Chain A
Amino acid sequence: MSPHPKKYEAVVIGVSAGGLTALETILSALHASFSLPVLIVQHISPDAESYLPQHFATRCPLPVKEADDKEDIMARTIYFAPPDYHMMVELDRSISLSVERRVNFSRPSVDVLFETAAEAYGDGLIGIILTGANHDGAAGLARIKQLGGLTIVQAPETAQANAMPRAALEATQADHILTLKDIARQLNALEGAL
């Protein structure tokens, strides 16, 4: 058992190219009892119909939804940022959306989610960067680390596109560098230790 059991309150995930399979590996492996909310930014085309929630609803034991503006973040729920909106976390642990200009050429942007979530959850946050061919999320992960949260990066050599994990590792010293399977295991284990 870990000598300092930590109570985590939320998980944020940033992922881009190659995300569908990567997310599937993680989300389908989460225990049905996994109780932390999970907020996800997956880069997709701005005018794509949002298929992500439906896609994962059948592949994940937990409820999956597209985030609505000003909704309270609930335990045991997976939230996807809607296409063409930034997703932010408020201090009162509700979600707010924004159409402010692209950040890192992206809307939704991983940095926007990570930076606002870091400020809302402090050291209660787990941040995860997965496969992707850009640099979004690097600054956000560094911010999570700076405010005491736990940082996890997919091992670049196992990522379909390794630029995003690499950029994250350059920006901050991650607590764990893991394969997708091990990320899922780690999440379940952290949860089990609560």
Chain B
Amino acid sequence: MSMPEHIDNERLEIQLLLEAVYRKYGYDFRNYACAHTKRRLEHRRAMEGLGDYSQMMHRLIHDEEFFDTVLLDLSINVTEMFRDPWFYKKVREAVVPHLCTYPFIKVWHAGCSAGQEVYSMAILLEEEGMRERVQIYATDFNEIVLQKAKDGIYPVDLIREYTTNYQKAGGTQSFSDYYTADYASVVMKRSLREQVLFSSHNLVTDGVFGEMNVIFCRNVLIYFNRELQNKVLKLFYDSLCPGGFLCLGSKETLMFSEIADKFEVIADREKIYRKKRM
């Protein structure tokens, strides 16, 4: 294979840019999947009419607001309520019965984006009668989406899709019980938010979060390279109590990781794993 020289130079520039972002702002994207990072940076560079990545780096260093924009570009925040309804159905069937045996449980949503996944789980746990016995921690490294998660306000035009998902996920009530709507948006019921603690946490640079019974980290690891995936999976291992559950995105797997043998597979398609008691 041969590659024109300017492509190699571009790669070098991107590495230096990510290094600069890390040193200046503390956000470490150096081990994110390259193809993803490059596509997102390219998109922003073209939109801003910046000639090359060195120019973009200069702007990033001198303009904090520009960094916030790029941070949003790099942290893909796409999410929905009851995303992959069959996953939530499996959680109900295969995970909740174990959780019911504990007097109190802690659930961590790592990379929770704007919170849809968090409210989905809060609803599910309420329906399973666990409301009084659960503390949910919702974290993301992006403060802007985290604020949206805290607010729990979503555009009303998404509700039809969310409702369908909720029903497919085995919801037992009417989905409209869980929010109040005005003409443009819906607000999630206050009682759902009361069980949740929202806080900033960076999976790459921050440490163990606490001892959890369940960790959800769905559709976050795909943005990391293998080395970083391993590091973060180890962090999850260390943050789970023995017998605790780890739930990944539908195209993510523990199987290729260094800690694969420390978990048993509870549901293969749904990517639900359980930490073995050693």
Q: Which A residues contact B (CB, under 8 angstroms)?
A: 9, 68-71, 82, 85, 88-91, 94, 96-101, 112, 115-116, 119-124, 147-148
Which residues from chain B contact A121 at a C-beta distance below 8 Å? 1
| Chain A nearest CB, measured from B123 CB (Å) | 21
Name which of B2-10, B140-148, B189-197 contacts chain A. Answer: B2-10
- How far is it, in angstroms, between the C-alpha of A88 and the C-alpha of B34 when the chains are bound? 10
- Interface band, chain B: 20 to 34
Which residues from chain B contact A115 at a C-beta distance below 8 Å? 39
- How far is it, in angstroms, between the C-alpha of A122 and the C-alpha of B252 when the chains are bound? 28
B253 at the A interface (CB under 8 A): yes
Which residues from chain B contact A123 at a C-beta distance below 8 Å? 1-3
B54 at the A interface (CB under 8 A): no
Q: Which B residues contact A (CB, under 8 angstroms)?
A: 1-4, 7, 11, 33-36, 38-40, 76, 78, 219, 221-223, 225-226, 229, 251-253, 256
- How far is it, in angstroms, between the C-alpha of A88 and the C-alpha of B40 when the chains are bound? 13
A99 in contact with B76 given A68-B251, A69-B252 (CB within 8 Å): yes
Q: Is the CB of B78 within 8 A of A90?
A: no
Which residues from chain A contact B78 at a C-beta distance below 8 Å? 99-101
Q: Is the CB of B3 within 8 A of A147?
A: yes
Q: Is the CB of B251 within 8 A of A148?
A: no
Which residues from chain A contact B253 at a C-beta distance below 8 Å? 68-69
A-B contact pairs, 19 of them (CB 8 A): A9-B1, A68-B251, A69-B222, A69-B251, A70-B226, A70-B229, A71-B256, A88-B35, A90-B34, A90-B225, A91-B35, A94-B226, A98-B76, A116-B35, A116-B38, A122-B2, A122-B7, A123-B2, A147-B3
- How far is it, in angstroms, between the C-alpha of A9 and the C-alpha of B229 when the chains are bound? 27
Which residues from chain A contact B221 at a C-beta distance below 8 Å? 69
A148 in contact with B252 given A90-B34, A97-B222, A99-B222 (CB within 8 Å): no
Q: Is the CB of B39 within 8 A of A112?
A: yes
| Given A69-B221, A124-B1, A147-B3, 20 further pairs, Cβ under 8 A | A69-B251, A70-B229, A82-B251, A88-B39, A90-B35, A94-B226, A98-B33, A98-B36, A98-B222, A99-B78, A99-B222, A100-B76, A112-B39, A116-B39, A119-B35, A120-B35, A122-B7, A123-B1, A123-B2, A147-B4
| Chain B nearest CB, measured from A101 CB (Å) | 6
**A124: nearest residue on chain B (CB-CB)?**
B1
**B4: nearest residue on chain A (CB-CB)?**
A147
**A94: nearest residue on chain B (CB-CB)?**
B226
Q: Is the CB of B251 within 8 A of A100?
A: no
Q: Is the CB of A119 within 8 A of B38?
A: yes
Name A100's contact: one of B3, B36, B229, B256 (CB within 8 Å).
B36
Which residues from chain A contact B36 at a C-beta distance below 8 Å? 88, 96, 98, 100
- How far is it, in angstroms, between the C-alpha of A94 and the C-alpha of B229 when the chains are bound? 14
Which residues from chain B contact A88 at a C-beta distance below 8 Å? 33, 35-36, 39
- How far is it, in angstroms, between the C-alpha of A153 and the C-alpha of B35 when the chains are bound? 25
| Chain A nearest CB, measured from B80 CB (Å) | 10
| Chain A nearest CB, measured from B195 CB (Å) | 27
- How far is it, in angstroms, between the C-alpha of A147 and the C-alpha of B219 when the chains are bound? 31
Name A122's contact: one of B1, B40, B223, B256 (CB within 8 Å).
B1
| Chain A nearest CB, measured from B97 CB (Å) | 27
- How far is it, in angstroms, between the C-alpha of A60 and the C-alpha of B254 when the chains are bound? 30
Which residues from chain B contact A69 at a C-beta distance below 8 Å? 221-222, 251-253
Which residues from chain A contact B223 at a C-beta distance below 8 Å? 98
**B226: nearest residue on chain A (CB-CB)?**
A70
| Interface-centre pick from A89, A90, A123, A124 (highest chain B CB count, 10 A) | A90
Q: Is the CB of A90 within 8 A of B33?
A: yes
Which residues from chain A contact B33 at a C-beta distance below 8 Å? 88, 90, 96, 98
- How far is it, in angstroms, between the C-alpha of A119 and the C-alpha of B76 when the chains are bound? 22
Which residues from chain A contact B3 at a C-beta distance below 8 Å? 119, 122-123, 147
**A98: nearest residue on chain B (CB-CB)?**
B36
Which residues from chain A contact B38 at a C-beta distance below 8 Å? 116, 119
| Chain B nearest CB, measured from A21 CB (Å) | 27
Q: Is the CB of B256 within 8 A of A70?
A: yes
Which residues from chain B contact A148 at a C-beta distance below 8 Å? 2, 4
- How far is it, in angstroms, between the C-alpha of A154 and the C-alpha of B77 when the chains are bound? 36
**B221: nearest residue on chain A (CB-CB)?**
A69
